[in-house]
Amino acid sequence: MLFASRIVKWSVCLLLALLCLPAIGAQTNGFTVVIDAGHGGKDPGARGSQINEKEINLQVALKLGSLIQKNHPEVNVVYTRKTDRFIELDERAEIANRNKADLFISIHVNSVRRGSSVRGAETYTLGLARTDENLEVAMRENSAILLEDNYEQKYEGFDPNSSESYIIFEFMQNKHVEQSINFASEVQKCFAEADRADRGVRQAGFLVLRKTSMPSVLIELGFISNAREERFMRSKAGQETLAKSISKAFDRYKQAFDKKQLGGVRQAAAVTPSSPKAETKAEPVKAKKKEKEGKVVFKIQILTSDKRLEPDSRYFKGYKNVGMFREKGLYKYTYGETTSFNEIMKLWRKTRRDFKDAFIVSFKDGQRMNY
């Protein structure tokens, strides 16, 4: 009963927080990016044999900010910290909210307890971790709250070491999920282009992302538990490579952002009363496929089978227009299709009445996006 009451309390607090957060796009002074160097001060983060996570995070964050300022003088770069100091997780998000940021980038370094050969970079967006590996990463990063004063009251009894506490993140998606995934995808592409092992875009419940009111990601640069990776990340050349990769991803994201903003201005101008031709000229209707090109498309996975099922199979429980894709030799069946995360969430809640294990999957240009 106590755990259930905490979940309800967290849900209410989250809803109120999201309603009260400042609106993105209300600002008039250009694009703002907040760069968050994870850990710091009394919180060393993951420990390597030669260096601690907090030092790598800070150096890469500062180098990233310098590159963005050099390539985009019009962009306002804000740091959650520029020195070795401890900042509470909620305060990091509030720094982004107070500055009405358009993008939040949290820089971290990964570590595993078992095995020193694991390597590569991965980028996370906010959500429910669907693998033990993702959950373990979130638990390690969230354990920073144990160093905060009154963390039990501040985080409503959230226990970073209890898997039950992470159920709440199933409800912590927001309208910026598509942009977050888009940026995360660009980051991973750029890491791969720099010959970094690409561990993909993932999802997990990070407290530092839960209250941000803009597209937000948490980047794990590599594994400090791997001696070779540690040497790379502590070197100036390695830090510059990592910063350049994220900066390159920012260039692409910002270009798409500007194009979208400019398109909105042009569209608004085309329908102004001072342009009579625009009032009568009809826009051509685009095919559904064209409308979804380059966008994240959400579906609900309802079944997995090692055999192909007929459209009228009893396993679909009367559901029509069921989609299918193949992955690792299995047939995976989906229901619904939309670019709106809010719409797919509503449909998912209804679908779970018949398929209790149903979950949301996302695609981009026909390719499954892995978290």
Q: Give per-residue pLDDT as tens, 354-369.
A: 988 788 888 888 888 7
pLDDT range class, residue 59, cuts 50, 70, 90: very high
Determine the pLDDT at residue 6.
Answer: 53
Q: 24 falls in which pLDDT band (50, 70, 90)?
A: very low
Bridge partners, 366 (sequence order): none
If asked whether residues 251 and 181 sit together in one domain, one would say yes
pLDDT band at 20 (very low <50, low <70, confident <90, very high): very low
pLDDT tens digits for 277-329?
Answer: 333 333 343 445 555 677 888 899 898 888 889 988 888 999 999 999 988 78
Between helix 53-71 and helix 236-270 the angle, nearest 10°, is: 40
Asked if residue 347 is part of any domain, the answer here is yes
- Token pair, residue 352, equals 């779970």
The sign one gets for the Cα dihedral 361, 134, 80, 226 is negative
222 shares a domain with 147: yes
- pTM score, two decimals? 0.68
Bigger pLDDT: 271 vs 362? 362
Place of tokens 């149903």: 358
pLDDT at 153 over 70: yes
Same structural domain, 250 and 296: no
The CATH number linked to 119 is: 3.40.630.40
Cα separation, 324 vs 331, whole angstroms: 7
Tokens, residue 309 = 């099922």
Q: Which of 243-252, 275-284, 329-338 has the highest mean pLDDT?
A: 243-252
Helix 227-234 to helix 236-270 angle (10° resolution) is 70
% of the chain beyond a pLDDT of 70: 81
Q: 187 and 238: one domain?
A: yes
The answer to the question of residue 264 being in a domain is no
In a domain, 3, yes or no: no
Whether 234 and 333 map to the same domain: the answer is no
Within 10 A of 236 (CB to CB), how many other CB atoms are there? 9
The segment with the largest mean pLDDT, out of 98-112, 155-169, 200-214, is 98-112
245 and 327 share one domain: no
Are 293 and 251 within one domain? no
Q: Of 47-51, 63-67, 138-142, 336-340, which range is least confident?
A: 336-340
Residue 142 has pLDDT above 90, yes or no: yes
Residue 186: give the domain boundaries. Answer: 9-255
Indicate the number of domains in the chain.
Answer: 2
Here the CATH number for the domain that contains residue 355 is 3.30.70.1070
- What tens digit of pLDDT does each residue of 72-94 get? 999 999 999 999 999 999 999 99
Pair 28, 85 in one domain? yes
